[in-house]
Amino acid sequence: MAFEPQKLYIGLVEFFSVWLPGAVLTYLVKLHWPCVFGSEVQNLESPVAWVVLLFSSYLLGHFLFLIGSLLDDYVYDPIRHCTDEHQIERLLNGRKLSPRIFRWCARLCFKKHPDAAVSRVAAIKDGYLKPIDAKGTVNAFQWCKARLSIRHPHALATVNRLEADSKFFRSFLALLAGFGVVALFHYEWWWSLGSMVLLLLAFWRYMEQRFKATQQAYWTILTMEAGKKRGPAEIHSSDPCEAQDVSSTPTHAGGVVFRGKSAARKYLLVRAKRRPNRWVLPNGRVERVLPKGQIEAGEDAPHCAIREVREETGVLARILKAFPDITYEVEGKNSTVRFFLMEAVAKGKPDERWRDPKCLAIADALDACQQARHEESCFVLGMAEEALKKEES
């Protein structure tokens, strides 16, 4: 049997993720509550003492490991569902945004577009499992690991190594949290503060390594599927664009985003997508238009509108109503755009910083779009203002 260093490494990390936190906890118990182990265990020269301490470390380590595993369901997953993509889904379903602290934590722990890979893998998974009516029986990450265990065990070892690292820090989180509370109870302020700092760093590392493990699994599956001929069973049946008349489907979607009421109402505009030297007109004014973008494969117009507004302006907005489609010609090609009236609900940083989003009153917004010779933006802005005035009257 060939020696496999990766499996040895994973085994050692998983062992120490159980035993090492247990050993630290055993030492602390022995130090502060020596009566728990009895007088014989205090003398480490006795073989019995070492057996008791090693067994205690292993046992308490498993308890800490069990407590730490709750972080996956009650901490990691809720924060993982606070990414921008999940906020778009919440807005589409008419739900409130996740708490701001969770959204901030998600942006800190996860990179840009953290849901890009998992959304595509989930579609592939559903295509494979649909024929046996088992789409909801396994999540995307576990399905990826099962496929890799059959087809590419070496790739699975990389995923398991990252996951083992996350389990190591997960166990220490439970230990540090308990130690910090005990130190605070005994008024040992420096120990409590130090444990809280280490807890934050361990938490950050745990989130990072677990996210890397899932991403590595998704990337590997996507790489395996790249260039592969897709059979009928592998096509995602819930594609929003499936079985639709392409000629009647918009190619682009955008948003008329407003905030405020009556005279205080302002509209969100971005720089026109042109060469930098054409952003500024001879009179010093900047060409501005409504945020919009192309509808991606497997995406519907409302989702595209919320996504494009967020990417270009950083604003999360809810859809109030849809305007009629507008078709116009750009560089010899017809584009059909569906604009939505949207209300801003949260502000963040845009992905496309050069867009320089600005909120303008209706007169200034119309003037900016006219300067950019963007008639469709002027037309939709006029409809939006009229609709909002009618609603307020």
Nearest Cα to 240, choosing from 249, 232, 231? Answer: 249
Angle formed at CA 125 by CA 120 and CA 128, multiple of 5 degrees: 130
Cα 294–chain centre separation: 22
Q: Average pLDDT for residues 26-53, to the nearest whole number?
A: 69
Taking each helix axis as running N to C, give the angle between helix 140-151 and helix 153-185, from 0 to 180 degrees, rounded to the nearest 10. 140
Question: H helices within the chain, ranges in order?
Answer: 5-32, 39-42, 47-71, 77-80, 84-92, 100-109, 116-129, 140-151, 153-185, 189-225, 301-313, 362-371, 375-392
**How crowded is residue 138: how many other Cβ atoms within 10 Å of its Cβ?**
14
Q: How far apart are CA 133 and CA 78, in angstroms?
A: 27
Q: Taking the CB of residue 392, how many other CB atoms lie within 10 A of it?
A: 9
What pLDDT score was predicted for residue 14? Answer: 74
Which residues are CB-neighbours of 283 under 8 A, at least 6 positions away? none
- Considering all CA atoms of the chain, what is the largest pairwise distance in Å, rounded to the nearest integer? 89
CATH topology for 252-392? Nucleoside Triphosphate Pyrophosphohydrolase (3.90.79)
Query: Span 209-229, mean pLDDT?
Result: 88
The per-residue pLDDT for 244 is 36
Q: Which of 330, 329, 340 is nearest to 301 (CA)?
A: 340
pLDDT of residue 187: 80
Round to whole Å and give the CA distance between 381 and 364: 11
What's residue 51's pLDDT?
A: 76
Quick check: 393 pLDDT over 80?
no
Q: What is the pLDDT of residues 80-114, one digit of tens each?
A: 999 988 999 999 998 999 999 999 999 888 877 88
Which pLDDT band holds residue 279 (cuts at 50, 70, 90)?
Answer: very low
pTM of the model: 0.76
Concatenating the DSSP letter of every residue in 354-369 gives: GG--EEE-HHHHHHHH
Pair of tokens at residue 341: 């009236």
- Cβ-count burial of 229 within 10 angstroms (0-12 exposed, 13-18 middle, 19+ buried)? exposed
d(CA 299, CA 183): 52
| 77 contact partners, CB below 8 Å, separation of at least 6 | none
Round to whole Å and give the CA distance between 324 and 250.
10
What the block records as the tokens of 390 is 């009618």
The full set of domain ranges for the chain reads 5-80+115-232, 252-392
Which range is least confidently modeled, 24-38, 169-183, 203-217?
24-38
Q: What is the mean pLDDT of residues 377-383?
A: 88
The alpha carbons of the chain give a radius of gyration, in whole angstroms, of 28
Is residue 264 within 8 A of residue 273, CB to CB? The reply is no
User: Which residue reads 């390594």 in tokens?
Assistant: 209
DSSP 8-state symbol, 75: I
